[in-house]
Amino acid sequence: MDCAEARSALWPPERLRVVDARVTQARLHLDGCACCQEYFQQDEALLDVYSRVRELSAPMTLRRRIFDNLAAARWAPEEALGVEPWAGRVLQRSAWPLALVAVVGVVTVAQLGDTRRTIEPSAVFVEDYLRRAVGQEHIETDDPSEIRHFLERELGIALDPLAFAGFELARAEVCLLEGRLGAMIVYKGADGSLSHYLVPRDHADPRPPSVSTTANSSSMPVVTWATADLEQAVVGEIGAEALLALTTTSLR
Stretch 15-32: mean pLDDT, rounded?
Answer: 82
Q: Is residue 66 part of a domain?
A: no
CA distances from 51 to 48, 179, 227 (A): 5, 21, 32
Helices and strands in the chain: count of H runs, count of E runs: 10, 7
Q: Is residue 139 part of a domain?
A: yes
* Number of structural domains found in the chain: 2
Q: Is residue 11 part of a domain?
A: yes
CA distance 101 to 186: 23
pLDDT of res. 187:
93
Task: Output the CA angle 146-234-249, nearest 5 degrees.
Answer: 85
CA distance 37 to 24: 15
Q: Does residue 67 register a pLDDT over 60? A: yes
Stretch 114-140: mean pLDDT, rounded?
Answer: 54
Tell whether 21 and 110 lie within a shared domain.
no
Tell whether 114 and 182 lie within a shared domain.
yes
Tell whether 109 and 234 lie within a shared domain.
yes
Residue 194 neighbours by CB distance under 10 Å? 26
Residue 18 pLDDT grade (very low, low, confident, very high; cuts 50, 70, 90): confident
Q: Is residue 74 part of a domain?
A: no
The phi and psi torsions of 6 (rounded to 5 degrees) equal: -65, -45
Residues linked to residue 233 through DSSP beta bridges, in sequence order? 197, 224
Tell whether 32 and 112 lie within a shared domain.
no
- Give the 3-state secondary structure of residue 69: helix
Domain that holds residue 202: 45-54+96-250
Tell whether 145 and 215 lie within a shared domain.
yes
pTM over 0.85: no
Residue 54 pLDDT grade (very low, low, confident, very high; cuts 50, 70, 90): low
The phi and psi torsions of 52 (rounded to 5 degrees) equal: -95, -25
Q: Is residue 134 part of a domain?
A: yes
Q: Is residue 169 part of a domain?
A: yes
Local structure of residue 206 (DSSP, 8 states): P
First to last CA, the chain: 49
- Asked if residues 141 and 169 have their Cβ atoms less than 8 Å apart, the reply is yes
Tell whether 100 and 33 lie within a shared domain.
no
Residue closest to 239 by CA, chosen among 221, 216, 212: 221
Tell whether 10 and 49 lie within a shared domain.
no
- Asked if residues 182 and 133 have their Cβ atoms less than 8 Å apart, the reply is yes
pLDDT of res. 98:
43
Q: Is residue 73 part of a domain?
A: no
Tell whether 37 and 145 lie within a shared domain.
no
